[in-house]
Structure 1
């Protein structure tokens, strides 16, 4: 697999984002994640968006981080927020999520971010297991879904 940076509005990123939104909608019975996202949020040096491509140059997995700082939604100064971590069903179990996560953490650290944070939900047990096994710990809720019972927030010092 070849992991490379792309813009959040790159056609492959849009395709994978549409697929992850469908998965969210199926799992939660709603329209998916309605967090407002803009391609500029993932533009270096204040963010990064990655896609893992297979040997035939097919997009198989994705993930990004964006800068967050203290404000009304519960973030802390120096936060980097993970967004749109996703692996196609046929590529799960190959370690792609861990590789993308490690690359995003390293990039956020190099950009001067102090803490990586993420929000997931109780209907994504494999995501919660990935983050727990990668050193993330539950933290105070933040973001758009901070008042939802099924929301779970995690953080890891970089």
Structure 2
């Protein structure tokens, strides 16, 4: 695994060491297969564990956890949804959306993407793109006309995913709107 600073995480009982943005060394055995995505509550034990893992990764990348206010009820229908992605019954990915008041692309019928994460051992296999597509489809089905998100400049792989999926820069919003490390993106939904 290509890493500089290390974070301890677990996957199905196995301890894994990874670093912010660490990429799986292609000589390592990847976790492959098709991700099965299901809606779960924000308090689901696997969701809690993976959210803790992404927070640990933020500590390595940025020196602290994501401090944006999050109310778990915002991720319950009709206000939003939280999803887990499983490979062979092992939770490997999260993604969520919540309704937003941010105006983007001439509409306030927006949803904000939150908690996009793929465990290091499953990265590089297209699972984040599949989760993102699922979030877009489910938010559209719930009436969203646009999506917005906030990511960090120290997450170039996330920025590349979003830009290659049609996301463009939008005016800053949210907790980190004035941070030079924040990047806000959006996408109009057809």
* Larger CA Rg, structure 1 vs 2: 2
RMSD of Structure 2 on Structure 1 (CA): 0.8
Deviation of the 1:52 alpha carbon? 0.7
Count of residue pairs the alignment pairs up: 151
Deviation of the 1:45 alpha carbon? 2.4
TM-score normalised by length of structure 2: 0.78
Aligned residue in 2 for 1:78: 109
Secondary structure of residue in 2 paired with 1:127: helix
Which residues of 2 match residues 6-155 of structure 1 at below 5 A?
6-30=40-64, 32-55=65-88, 57-69=89-101, 75-76=102-103, 77-155=108-186
TM-score normalised by length of structure 1: 0.93
C-alpha distance in structure 2 between counterparts of 1:130 and 1:2, whole Å = 20
Gapped runs of 5+ residues in structure 2?
A: 1-34
Moved over 6 A (4+): none
Tell me the alpha carbon deviations over residues 33-83 of structure 1, each in whole angstroms, 9 at most, x when there is no partner.
01111221111222111111111x1110010000011xxxxx122110000
Q: Is the 8 A contact 1:46 1:111 kept in 2?
A: no
Structure having the higher helix fraction is 1
Gapped runs of 5+ residues in structure 1?
A: 70-74
